[in-house]
Structure formats: C-alpha cells, structure tokens
Structure 1
Amino acid sequence: MIRTFPARIEIPAVSAEADEILKLHNINNRKERVSFAHQKRSENMTVNEIALLLHSSVKTVQKYLMLDPDEIENRTIVKEKKHLLAMKQKQNEVNEARALAKKGVPIEEIAKTMHHTCKTIQRYLSPDYSVEDGHYNARIPGKLAPYEAEVIKLRSEGMTYPNIHKIITEKGYKGSVASLRMFIQKERIRNEAHLSQQETCSDYQSKEYIQRRSLIQLIYKGLSDVKTITKTQYEQVLKTYPVITELYAAIKEFYEILYSRRDERLETWLEKIENFNIPELQTYVNGIRIDINAVKNGIKLKYNNGLAEGSVNKIKVIKRIMYGRNSFDLLKAKVLLHEQFRCEFN
C-alpha cells in the first residue's frame, strides 16, 4: 500500500463536514487548524490521530495545542498587513526623496542620505513611479513551469511524488521532490479561492482525502478502533479501490485459517495470494513455503513455543537492565531469583 498509493487518497466527499475538513488542509487557515486541534484533543483523540486528520506532522499538532486559538490571525490576513505596511514605508521614502529634490538637493546627496543608489532615487522622482509594482501575489515561473500540467494530472491520478519526480526528471526537470509538494499545496490553496464558484456548476463533485496510514491501520485494527476514518469513508474507499477490498478479505481469511486447525486451507490461500502479483506478498508467500511444515504444525497443533519465547524475552529484558555490569553468574542468579519470587507470589 505504501508503494502503490499516495499518502493522501482522494475519494468523492461522503461525510457532512468534508468541505470544512478540506479547508483545514490549507496551512494558511492556521486559526481554524489550531481550534480544530484543541477541539479534537478535548474529545480524547491522540496527537497522532489529530495529525492524520489535519494531514500534518505530530510535531506541528503539538505546537498547535500549545497555542491559544483566540490570539492567532490567519496567515493570509497577516501577509496582507505586512504588504500594506511595506507599501506605506516605501511611499514615505518616495515622498521624502521628492521633498528633498524639490529643495534643490542633488540626486547623489539624496541617495547618500537615504542609503539608496542613484538609480533608485531617479525612479522615486519619476512622475510615473508607483509603489504598487504589480508583482505582489504574482506567480514567478520556475524550473517546474513546463511540467506543471503533467504534475497536476499525475497527482490527480494518485501517483506518489517520488514517482512523478522520476518521470519529469527523465524529461529534463532539475528541481527537487519538495518543490513538487510545495507546488501542489499552492495549487490547492489557489483552487479554494474558486471553490464557491465551482460548487454552482452542475458537474462539480466535492472531494475529500483519506490518509493512507488510516487504511494501513485497518490491516490490524477494527474500524471502530481507527478514529481517523468513518464507516462511510471506508466504504467509499473500497468502492474507489476494489483491490483494497480483496486484500482486506485475504488478510481476514488468513487470520481465520491460523485459528481453524485446518492446515489444508493454507495451500489454497497461498495460491490465491500469488495471483495478486504483488511483490511484497510474493516475498511473504515464499517465506511460508520455505518453512511450510512448521507453519502447518502451528495451525493444526494446539500447543506452541510461546512459553519458551516468553522466557527468552524475560532473560533479554533482565540482560538489558544489567547492561555494563553483567556477568553470567550475576545474570543466572537474577533470573533464578526472579522465578522464585514469581512462584512465591503465585
């Protein structure tokens, strides 16, 4: 699943709060993200689970939980404020340069006084000069420009960033994988600005994202134990990616075989798994076939080597505790005393 699916799996929106969650993925909505983290923490969700919902790192969520949502401004607003302040400062410089020039001060002297070049002062004194240069919020084409459409197409098909990077690198791209991630993140933010207009279109279909890690957890946990995916989302994932349904069914069947005491079912299951043609599963099947007799004995016999494994594990724990001051005699004495105390306690 890690090799095949992207970290975020796209599905048609099925949950009521899908659009709200999608907006939370925008890192510029910092106040909403922090409030969401605090809300879910109060609902006894773990930091890891909150990180999955926000598609962030655990470290980021830990920072969010240390902040007060009421004291945070959205990054878009902060950015706009900084831009307006910079424009005001630049306009003050222009006014100052023009005032000095009006008094007859030479351009060289004005440049020296204001710590600018003569060329900059000449621009300030030009009647056509404006502090609004038109570059604010404008996109600057970079190395990725010729491949942007292809990157968006491949990403929408679920391809991982490393695989996309490999494809476009062969075509001449010289940038990094991180640049691809940043580009896609900016594209999402840009598209959200047109979200309301898109929703009015008849062919628009809202989408949401499920973390791949949530699906991996379902391999060894029940659906009710994974808080980062709902039943409706789970059902939609299975509809969108039928191969996951087959894999989950195969895992469940293997679990049933292990506890069925019927080792003859194992061969049929191994043949079924080989038909998937998945390298990771084929490696697992090869490992079972190498030691097939032991696996079958583990299925059909009621006893196992669990007692011996448990004893070995206890000895290893004691050895690690005594690291640096250990000897065989001391280890032997401590193991025997431990068993003596256990027997007396029982």
Structure 2
Amino acid sequence: MPTTRLLAEIREQGYPGSANLLVRYLDQGRADTERDIPAPRRLVSWIMTRPADLPEPERTHLEDLVSSCSQLTALVGHVRDFAALPTQRRGDELHAWMSIVDDTDLSSLHGFVRGLRKDLPAVVAGLTLPYGNGPIEGANTKVKLLKRQMYGRASFALLRRRILLN
C-alpha cells in the first residue's frame, strides 16, 4: 500500500502526525532484515567487486543469484572479463570481447560497446599503454583548490606565486 494512501486512511481515523513520522515508523527495522534480492545498487557493487574481496555472505548470495538467472550469469562473466582488460593491460583483446558481447542478448552491454566503438583507438590505447592522466589531473585539482582558497582575496600575481611555491 502506498504511504500516501495509508496516511490518508489513518488521518481519517484521527492520526495527527506527519508523513515523515509515518515513513520513519514504517522503515523501522527494515535495514536489518534479510531480503532474497538485494537492491540494484548493492547487486552492482557485488558484481563490480572481485569475488575474493567480497565477504563470504555476499559472495554466496551473489553466486546463488547468478546461478539462478542465465542472463545474469552472462552479464557477470562479461563484466569480469572486461575488468581484466585494463588491470592486465590487455587492450588488444578488446575487439574479441566486443564481438562476444555483440553475440549475446544483453542490450545494456550493447549500448556500452557502441560507446566504446565511437572512440575505439583511444580506448585501446588507454587499456594498453602504461601512461595515464593521473598526475595532470592531480595538478589541476591542486590549482583549483588554491584558486578557491584565494577567491576574492588577492590578485592574480599572488595566486601565481602560491601555485609556484606549492
């Protein structure tokens, strides 16, 4: 029963409280209960985590869910195969992975593959080469932080001096 409908019914019977109070009452204790199917975000986090890094209850729950659905089994396999590409610098295997995904009936992964194909040379380079833009992004973040700290207080010359001294 939707909460708004329940609120209307119990207000007719004289309930003086607010909707927030009712929602808090209804949610009381729900976080502690074990559900058969986890929330989508939790399931995604389980899939994206290495199986060895998952606590035992979550790992067995994920294994039970994956074994009960063939599409979920395929999805988890493709996600884990793709996760191995950047961590092991195997960008040359991306074409094979994309052709395998194209042969499945997982439309959400088809959209992901279409996005990869739009800039395929850059994706392959990112998965293969040992270079990254982490140091540049770190420098940009530092400059932006200094700029925010100086907002409205001084001139460009002082900002430049602070950047060069840091």
TM-score (norm. length: structure 1): 0.35
Percentage of pairs with the same residue: 30
2:13 corresponds in structure 1 to none
Deviations 1:257-316 (A, max 9, x none): 113333321001112223344444333222221221112122222222222122112222
> More helix by proportion, 1 or 2?
2
**Offset at 1:216?**
1.3
From 226, 231, 252, the equivalent of 2:59 is 231
From 88, 96, 105, the equivalent of 1:268 is 96
- Give the Cα–Cα distance (whole angstroms) in 2 for the partners of residues 326 and 283 of structure 1: 48
2:112 corresponds in structure 1 to 284
Q: How does 1:82-231 map to 2 (within 5 A)?
A: 208-223=36-51, 229-231=57-59
User: Does the C-alpha gap of structure 1 residues 331 and 290 become closer, same or farther in structure 2, counting only changes over 3 Å?
Assistant: farther
From 225, 234, 244, the equivalent of 2:72 is 244
- Give the Cα–Cα distance (whole angstroms) in 2 for the partners of residues 331 and 324 of structure 1: 11
**Offset at 1:29?**
10
One-letter identity of the residue aligned with 2:143: I
2:4 corresponds in structure 1 to none
Check whether the contact 2:147–2:159 (CA below 8 A) recurs between aligned residues: yes
Check whether the contact 1:214–1:226 (CA below 8 A) recurs between aligned residues: no
Q: How does 1:19-30 map to 2 (within 5 A)?
A: none
Counting matched residue pairs gives: 142
Deviations 1:200-230 (A, max 9, x none): xxxxxxx834333321111333457666953
C-alpha RMSD of matched pairs (Å): 3.2
- Give the Cα–Cα distance (whole angstroms) in 2 for the partners of residues 318 and 335 of structure 1: 7
Query: Which protein is bigger by CA-based radius of gyration?
Result: 1
- Give the Cα–Cα distance (whole angstroms) in 2 for the partners of residues 282 and 318 of structure 1: 42
- Give the Cα–Cα distance (whole angstroms) in 1 for the partners of residues 85 and 160 of structure 2: 40
1:301 corresponds in structure 2 to 129
Check whether the contact 1:319–1:326 (CA below 8 A) recurs between aligned residues: no
- Give the Cα–Cα distance (whole angstroms) in 1 for the partners of residues 91 and 27 of structure 2: 55
**Where do 5+ consecutive residues of structure 2 fail to align?**
1-24
- Give the Cα–Cα distance (whole angstroms) in 1 for the partners of residues 74 and 99 of structure 2: 14
User: Does the C-alpha gap of structure 1 residues 307 and 251 become closer, same or farther in structure 2, counting only changes over 3 Å?
Assistant: same
